[in-house]
Amino acid sequence: MNFATQVFHISDIKKIILKYAQPARIVIYEYDYYSKFADILKKVSKNDIIYLCTNNQLGCKEFVVKIDENNNKYTELIWSAEDDSDEIMSIDENENDEQRF
């Protein structure tokens, strides 16, 4: 057993390290989504971020990995390109016609 493994066997130290650790960022492409998503979900940790890059720019999404009360991993949508485009469209609708170019 190496020293890093020994540290993670001490639960209090493990909690402190994981509290300050940066989440991993994983990029998955649309053509790999259905074949690799389940494998990726097994490997990632809580609060890791999965970015789904689709062929359609408005289909891009960003998920955060969460764990439920039964210790099952699931993803929660935190960003969508559609959300940004809707926001931009609403800004355009609220502007005066005189200000448009």
pLDDT digits 0-9 by tens, 49-83: 999 998 887 889 999 999 999 999 999 999 998 88
Domain layout of the chain by residue ranges: 23-96
Strand order in the sheet with 25-29: 25-29, 49-53, 61-67, 73-80
Predicted confidence at residue 69, as pLDDT, reads 94
6-36 pLDDT tens trace: 766 777 877 777 777 888 999 998 888 778 8
The model's pTM is: 0.65
Q: Is 23-96 a domain of CATH 3.40.50?
A: no
Q: Are 49 and 23 in contact (CB under 8 A)?
A: yes
Please state the rounded mean pLDDT for residues 34-47: 87
pLDDT above 60 for 101: no
Backbone angles phi, psi at 49, to 5 degrees: -115, 130
